[in-house]
Amino acid sequence: MFAKVIIDQDAKAIDKVFEYIIPDNLAVVPGMRVYVGFGSRTVQGFVIEVSEKCDFDESKLKKIISIIDEQPAIKKEMLEVMKFMVKKFHLKQASILRLFIPAEMREGKVKELFEKIYSLSNKEINIVKNAKQQLAIVDFLKEHGEGSSVYLNGTFGNGAVRALLEKGVLIETQKEKFRKPLSEIKDDKKVNLNKLQESAIEKIAGNRTYLLHGVTGSGKTEVYMNLISRELKNNKTAILLVPEISLTPQILANFKARFGEEVAILHSGLSAGERFDEWRRLYSGEAKIAVGARSAIFAPLENLGIIIIDEEHEQSYISESNPRFNTHEVAKFRANFNNCPLVLGSATPSVDSYEKAKLGQFELVELPTRANGKEMPQIQIVDMINEIRSGNSGIFSNQLLADLSNIINNKKQAMLFINRRGYSSFMRCRDCGYVAKCSGCDVSLVYHQEDNRLKCHYCGKQFKVLDRCPSCGSEHIKHGAVGTEQVVKKLNEIFPDVKVLRMDNDTTSKKNAHQRILEEFRNTKPCILVGTQMIAKGHDFEDVLLVGIIDADQSLYQSDYRSTERTFQLITQVAGRAGRGETQGKVVLQTYAPRHYVYKFVANYDYKGFFKKEENIRQTAVFPPFSRIVRILFADFDEEYVRQLVKMCYNEIVKLKEEFKDEFLYLDVMKSPIKRMQNKFRYQILMRLKLSKADEIESKAFEIVDKLSKNSVFFEINPSNMS
Ligand code: ADP
Ligand code: ZN
Ligand code: ZN
């Protein structure tokens, strides 16, 4: 028998299938990890296929040395997922396979599941002097107490290990101790589904993609839980994806309360061992529901009955570091493979998804009201330019200060939101609200500190930093934004007796810090919580009656065709934190661009109106979803090499453009906005394609680049981060 093996190494040159002979004494099946000889070294590999015949000259094949796990770490379905991802995202096979197993398993940092542990027995040790490897094993075990079969076989050779086993010097054990991530144990809150929820659940029954559009507080989580229960009753399994940032203790506790041991949780806050154990519980079928961030889409579950992506519009579902992939597409593949529904849930669906629903590719399911029947909070727009004109040049408008005083007097709570994503990236006039934009692309320019210039991330054009507003002549034109720290300091000055808490990357780096801040907030009244995106999602505090958005425009002027969409989404989410209990809440939205269309739609909770407007703009400008942007990113330590390479590729792609004249909306080559990263020089080819032949052109471009480059090159589709 023969095995096709993918070597677990990064070099592009070995990212292909190699054949090995399966020795008679090894039970090798697809998906197993094995040790094989490669050149003069022993390396790890993944078996992706086993066959009777080989395609290569048999006499030149080597034998598989040993197997790493007793069972295939990668299940059949995931081998199909790998093939799909190679084609769809132009990725290396090994880099995809690594996504499917916990990193700890590859690095051997934690004791592995399918693995034997050896220690010394009490038997007298009787080894001849020249059996050096056997003696070395005994020394090792005397010092360390025990060793894994992988390690001992790999280090000292199978022969030596086997000999000691036969002599009875070694004893074999299997360790089976699960580390369970701690979570707050709550009582399951039983609610009676309302009519809308019931009908949503009924509709989500086929094998299509369903776009669940439900306003904040409409009870989507309850719908998810009921959908999952239904599948468990059919002996199926389920995956629920949530953005890392909204994996709050609250949602985890709710799931634990409802599903107990049947749910496994995968997120970055777990220790390596915990994550590994949760993965094993899914692998073995003990746990049937995987709840986690993006990478939980690779959960080793079989027989999926449903896949749910909550907050489907979140950018974090697109992996922007290697390997680069789009979670929605992987989810769709797995849903098709299992013939089960895929549910995309959001209060603010992406323009992309909503367009698909409009075209009938997705089925739209709506929850237009809050589950408890309460009104949405009122959103008041405050013009900050007016504030400056009337002599208030501080961070807080008079309206926000008045509302805060009110909250404090009534011993209630407020959240103040600071959008730091757009940190100091754009230039804006403090007097008239003018923002520097690219003359050719109508996107905001990005300030680059290292060369003190403004640049367009779409066409690469550069502009001088402004010292005077071209619109009104004011010198109050600057970049930069307020930070959380500054806001807390100001609040302490204005309200010295009131507790102010801060939640951002700096205050939550320690384990459980997140939870502790929220707990303190829950128990303190009055209290003001100041935070970044972290406070925007998932929280359900009934005494939060006021949400203040310090500078709503921060995300509006990112150099990204999706910046308006993102602003709408973010503000709707943040606003959704207010008034979740009995009393209606209020939102104060501070902006320097009060007449921007996004705010009108936000204030009226008019998603459909917003979508129409945005769709129209994208259609006119031919931006996604009406076109496809492809960025091909080249990076190498050798600048001359990468410059030559990118030039060669570009010249070939220009020919492609001649062949497909009408399909290219844009094509150019340039240095990347961040010219050097981790000592690699970065160049990029940017193209914008009509949709009609985008697939074909994209794969032809990939072939060109793949042939010319010695390293792998990264293809990004509609990237939001173009740095
Ligand atoms: P969403 O995820 O849509 O923003 P949630 O799932 O967080 O909304 O639900 C908001 C609140 O409404 C939660 O406190 C939830 O327990 C409650 N809820 C959900 N469904 C119902 C229902 N049918 N009746 C009463 N309360 C409900
Ligand atoms: Zn101005
Ligand atoms: Zn431009």
Q: What is the CATH number of the domain that holds 691?
A: 3.30.70.100
What's the domain range around 41? 2-106
* Residue 651 sits in the same domain as residue 612: no
Q: Is 369 in the pocket of ligand 1 (CB under 6 A)?
A: no
Residue-level pLDDT at 629: 94
Number of H helices, E strands in the chain: 21, 30
Cβ atoms of 265 and 181 closer than 8 Å: yes
* 373 and 240 Cβ atoms separated by less than 8 Å: no
- Does residue 371 line the site of ligand 1, with CB under 6 A? yes
CA distance 340 to 133: 53
CA distance 338 to 87: 20
Torsion sign (Cα): 466, 470, 471, 476: positive
Query: What integer is the mean pLDDT of 586-603?
Result: 95
114: enclosing H helix or E strand? none
Lowest mean pLDDT among 47-61, 73-87, 430-444, 694-708: 430-444
Number of structural domains (the chain) is: 5
Q: Identify the CATH number of the domain in which residue 162 sits.
A: 1.10.10
Highest mean pLDDT among 235-249, 300-314, 536-550 belongs to: 300-314
Residues 205 and 274 in one domain: yes
Does the beta carbon of 221 sit less than 6 angstroms from any atom of ligand 1?
A: yes
Residues 337 and 320 in one domain: yes
Beta carbon of 579 within 6 Å of any ligand 1 atom: no
Does 502 lie in the same domain as 651? no
CA of 477 to the centre of ligand 2 (A): 7
Task: Please check whether residue 672 lies inside any domain of the structure.
Answer: yes
Gap from CA of 564 to ligand 2 centroid (Å): 21
According to DSSP, the residues that pair with 479 across neighbouring strands are 427
Q: Are residues 495 and 592 in the same domain?
A: yes
Range with the lowest mean pLDDT among 129-143, 165-179, 511-525? 165-179
Q: Does the C-beta of 706 come closer than 6 Å to ligand 1?
A: no
Q: Are residues 257 and 312 in the same domain?
A: yes
* Pocket residue to mutate for ligand 1, from 344, 372, 376, 577, most atoms within 8 A of Cβ: 372
Average pLDDT over residues 171-181: 64
Give CA torsion, residues 33, 38, 42, 48, to 10 deg: 0
186 domain residue, yes or no: no
Q: How far apart are CA 125 and CA 392, in angstroms?
A: 85
Tens of pLDDT, residues 514-536: 888 988 999 999 999 999 888 88
Q: Looking at residues 171-194, what average pLDDT do you find?
A: 69
Ligand 1 neighbourhood includes 366 CB (under 6 angstroms): no
Query: Same domain for 204 and 292?
Result: yes
* Residue nearest (by alpha carbon) to ligand 1 atom 5: 219
User: DSSP H helical segments within 543-624, as ranges?
Assistant: 563-575, 597-603, 607-621
**Within a domain: residue 275?**
yes
Closest ligand (CA of 478): 2
In a 3-state reduction of DSSP, which class is residue 627?
Answer: strand
Q: 435 in a domain, yes or no? A: no
Does one domain contain both 342 and 383?
no
Tell me the chain's radius of gyration from C-alpha atoms. 29
Do residue 119 and residue 102 come from a single domain? Answer: no
For all residues of the chain together, what is the average pLDDT?
Answer: 88
Q: Which domain-ending residue is among 367, 390, 411? A: 367
Q: Say yes or no to pLDDT of 708 above 60.
A: yes
Q: Starting from the CA of residue 576, give the closest ligand.
A: 1
CA distance 328 to 309: 8
Domain boundary (367, 397, 412) is at 367
Quote the DSSP letter at residue 437: B
Of 186, 187, 190, 191, the residue with max ligand 1 atoms within 8 A of its CB, to mutate for a pocket test, comes to 191
Task: State the average pLDDT over residues 199-208.
Answer: 96
* 68 assigned to some structural domain: yes
Q: What tens digit of pLDDT does each residue of 610-646 get? A: 999 999 999 998 999 999 999 999 989 999 999 999 9
Whole-structure pTM value? 0.82
CATH number at residue 346: 3.40.50.300
Does residue 277 sit within a domain? yes
Q: Name the residue type at position 719.
A: P
The answer, yes or no, to whether any atom of ligand 1 lies below 6 A from the CB of 346, is: no
Q: Do the domain assignments include residue 321?
A: yes
Give the pLDDT confidence score for residue 465 in this predicted structure: 86
| Nearest-angstrom CA–CA distance, 689 and 653 | 13
- Select the more confidently predicted residue: 532 or 360: 360
Helix (H, G, I), strand (E, B) or coil at 588: strand
Q: Measuring CA to CA, which residue among 235, 266, 265, 69 is closest to residue 149?
A: 69
CA dist., res. 321 & res. 312, Å (int): 19
Is 183 contained in some domain? no
Out of 106, 137, 155, a domain closes at 106
- 248 pocket-lining for ligand 1 (C-beta < 6 Å): no
Write out the residues surrounding ion ligand 2, Cβ under 5 A. 429, 431-432, 434, 469, 471-472, 474
Ligand nearest to the CA of 461: 3
Instruction: Note whether 613 and 654 are same-domain residues.
Output: no
Judged against a pLDDT cut of 80, whether residue 386 lies above it is answered with: yes
Q: Give residue-wise pLDDT tens across range 101-127.
A: 987 777 665 454 456 788 888 877 778
Following CA atoms 694, 696, 701, 706 in sequence, which dihedral angle do they give, to the nearest 10 degrees? 130
364: β partners: 211
Encode 640-667: b = buried (16+ Cβ within 10 Å), e = exposed.
eebeebbeebbebbeebbeebeebbbbb
Buried b / exposed e over 296-315, threshold 16 CB at 10 Å, is bbbbbbeebbbbbbbbbbbb
- Residues 210, 357: one domain? yes
pLDDT, tens digit, 9 for 90 and up, residues 216-246 = 889 999 999 999 999 999 999 999 999 876 6
Distance 438 CA to ligand 3 centre (A): 5
- Nearest residue to 100 (alpha-carbon basis) of 31, 29, 177, 6: 31
Q: Cα of 223 to ligand 1 centre, how many Å?
A: 9
Same domain as 336, residue 293:
yes
Give the residue, by CA position, lying nearest to ligand 1 atom 16.
219
Look at residue 184 in the predicted model and tell me its pLDDT: 52
Which helix (H) or strand (E) covers residue 65, if one does?
strand 62-67
- Assess whether the C-beta atom of 508 lies below 6 angstroms from ligand 1: no
Q: Point out the ligand nearest to the CA of residue 221.
A: 1
Residue 678 is predicted with a pLDDT of 72
Confidence of residue 456 (pLDDT cuts 50, 70, 90): confident
Tell which one of 196, 222, 366, 572 to mutate to probe ligand 1, the residue whose CB is within 8 A of the most ligand atoms: 222
**Nearest protein Cα to ligand 1, atom 19:** 219
